[in-house]
Homo-oligomer: A and B are copies of this chain.
Amino acid sequence: MEKHGRKTMQTVAERAGVSLATVSHVLNGTRFVSKTTAELVHKAVTDIGYVPNTIARDLARSSTSTIGLVFSLSVNAFFLDIISAIEAECQRDGLSVLLFDSNDDPAKEWRIVRDLHQRRVDGIILAPAGGPESAAIRYLHENRVPAVLVDRLADSRFDQVGLNNHDAIHLVTDHLCNLGHRRIALIPGHSTYTTTVERIEAFRANLSARGLLDDGLITPPAHTLQEAAEHTSRLLDSGHIPDAILAGNNLCTLGAMREISSRGMKVPRDLAIAGIDDFEWADSFEPRLTVVRQPCAEIGQTAARLIRRRVASIDAAPEAHRMTPSLIVRRSCGYMPAES
């Protein structure tokens, strides 16, 4: 371990008595170097404690082999599973991953996206906080940055991967109805997501087909946990309260439960509740939530695959992928009648 002066490849080269080029080639395995010189170089590297400089390398290569991830980590724990899958997939491809937390704040999201682009990442995978009008989306499009949208499908000009919302809603409303619930309320998620639009649509279609549709039971979209709680409150204060609440995403689930709980109501005794998006602890705490689960690993893998393709050919036609949800039946909707 030397004292401390900037160690560059030049230092290594001198120490090993070879040229700069040779050091580079040894380190990258990018052309044949005789065994003896290679060893000389390696020895020099460890002797002086040389650490490669990614910045210089990226500049010279005009490529970073890095993709940027922009998610809202705060409430959406399941994003972490998606991220893990993306990372695993990218690592296999020799790609680095830069993670950023957008906090679901469109302004912050935009700053992150711009920063990422200035850092010259090869591509960006984004769970957009805003709709097609959002600054981030516009930026990505105008600058032709290779990008993939996840979960909230905001804009069909991009590659997208998310849940099959139609199936998700049907899975859970069918379940609710089978258990005998009639007055089913919906608290939809963020209003600008097409995801939300689709879920509302599917919900109305399903209930309407059963003659159960009551638009008074569909609250306005909830953008925050607080808003979800407020909508729930209004629902419970209304003339005839619902006998089941379907929460459009985990933020809504948490908001609704907060309100229900603070009123001292019990689930499923006083009210059924079901959500979209699972929680790790859902099996251990009461009420044990019945939820629709997303195939996170699959979503992540697909996103990774799409971004690679997009990086390779920026002009390919955009693809949209819908993954199959599954229903996790627990106890928050009442007891399941025995199958006959």
Name the B residues within 8 Å of A143 (CB-CB): 49, 51
8 Å CB contacts to B: which residues of A255-309? 257-258, 260-262, 279-281, 283-287
Kindly identify which residue among B55, B59, B74, B120 contacts A119, using a CB–CB cutoff of 8 Å.
Answer: B55
Nearest residue, chain B, Cβ from A100: B99
Q: Is A107 an interface residue (CB 8 A)?
A: no
A189 to B136, CA, bound (A): 41
Mask, A116-152, CB within 8 Å of B = 1, is 0111100000000000000000000011100000000
Q: Is A96 an interface residue (CB 8 A)?
A: yes
Name the B residues within 8 Å of A87 (CB-CB): 101
Name the B residues within 8 Å of A1 (CB-CB): 142
A99, A142, A285 interface centre (most CB from chain B within 10 Å): A285
Kindly identify which residue among B74, B96, B261 contacts A80, using a CB–CB cutoff of 8 Å.
Answer: B74
CB pair B84–A118 under 8 Å, yes or no, is no
Kindly identify which residue among B64, B83, B120, B261 contacts A101, using a CB–CB cutoff of 8 Å.
Answer: B83
A258 to B284, CA, bound (A): 5
CB pair A51–B118 under 8 Å, yes or no, is yes
CB distance from A231 to the nearest CB of B (A): 15
Mask, A1-25, CB within 8 Å of B = 1, is 1001000000000000000000000
Mask, A72-110, CB within 8 Å of B = 1, is 011101001001100100000000101111010000000
Nearest 7 CB-CB pairings of A with B = A286-B286, A285-B285, A257-B284, A261-B284, A99-B99, A54-B118, A258-B284
9 contacts between A and B (CB under 8 A): A55-B55, A55-B58, A55-B64, A55-B120, A74-B84, A80-B101, A254-B284, A261-B283, A262-B283
